Amino acid sequence: MELDELERDALRELANVGLSRAATQLSELLNDHIEMTVPLVQVVPYDQVTQALQLDPLASVAAVWQSFSGQSEGTSILMFPSEDSKKLVHALVGPSMQGAGEDDLRGIEHEAMMEIGNIIITSGMAVIADMLGHEVRMSLPGYMEGNLPDILAQRNRDNAGREMQAIIMFTHLKAAQREIEGRMVMLMSVDSVQVLFERLHKLLKGL
């Protein structure tokens, strides 16, 4: 599905509003000033996701996912390079991790990332649900670590064979004097994406 520039800009703006809300929540939670922006939004067919994400397919990625159901079904996955997510968590919850062993650290990282990802995904999906104009029910979040093809293969087993589209939000997160480039991928049916863009179109016409 091709997006014209105006539509892409509009979706990016909405995503920015959604994620700045997430940043406020995170700032409160982590007692730190956190900024989140969405510099780029793309919509691509499922088979082009790997390419469009612009991530090293061999590098390890930390991913938080939540599947959604209702009138639209699919999965939202938030990804950060593992190294970055580790550093971020260390910077944010450093004091409570002092003296913790390697295994404890992994547990703490997973938990913290899952909660942070949960907040970001909820905000991102709220934007999409608003656009779709119907309720979207989210599952509890899950955490995965691995390379990109593994993560996509695992998360999309249920929807294999179905015609899917991916909305990719490139996210830029600034926290604890660090800048982290993440990706939020929303895998959903072609029909849902179609509805989304019809709404977007109407919204733009109304302006």
3 state SS of 198: helix
Q: Using CB under 8 A, which of 139, 191, 198, 204 touches another protein?
A: 139
Q: In this complex, which beta carbon is closest to another protein, that of residue 101 or of residue 206?
A: 101
Kindly provide the residue ranges of all beta strands, DSSP E only, lying in the chain, ordered along the sequence.
35-45, 60-70, 74-81, 136-138, 142-147, 164-175, 178-189
- Rounded CA-CA distance 173/54 in Å is 17
- Rounded CA-CA distance 52/182 in Å is 13
Q: Using CB under 8 A, which of 101, 157, 202, 206 touches another protein?
A: 101
Q: In this complex, which beta carbon is closest to another protein, that of residue 62 or of residue 148?
A: 62
Q: In this complex, which beta carbon is closest to another protein, that of residue 92 or of residue 184?
A: 92
- Considering the rule CB under 8 A, would residue 114 count as an interface residue with another protein? yes
Which 27-66 residues touch another protein, going by CB under 8 A?
28-30, 66
- Considering the rule CB under 8 A, would residue 135 count as an interface residue with another protein? yes
Q: In this complex, which beta carbon is closest to another protein, that of residue 25 or of residue 37?
A: 25
Structure tokens at 150: 């593994």
Q: What are the DSSP calls for 95-149, one per residue?
A: HHHTT--HHHHHHHHHHHHHHHHHHHHHHHHHHHHHHHTS-EEEPPPEEEEEEHH
Which 165-204 residues touch another protein, going by CB under 8 A?
none
- Considering the rule CB under 8 A, would residue 133 count as an interface residue with another protein? no
Residues that bind another protein (CB under 8 A): 25, 28-30, 66, 92-93, 96, 98-101, 104, 108, 111-112, 114-116, 118-119, 121-123, 125-126, 129, 135-141
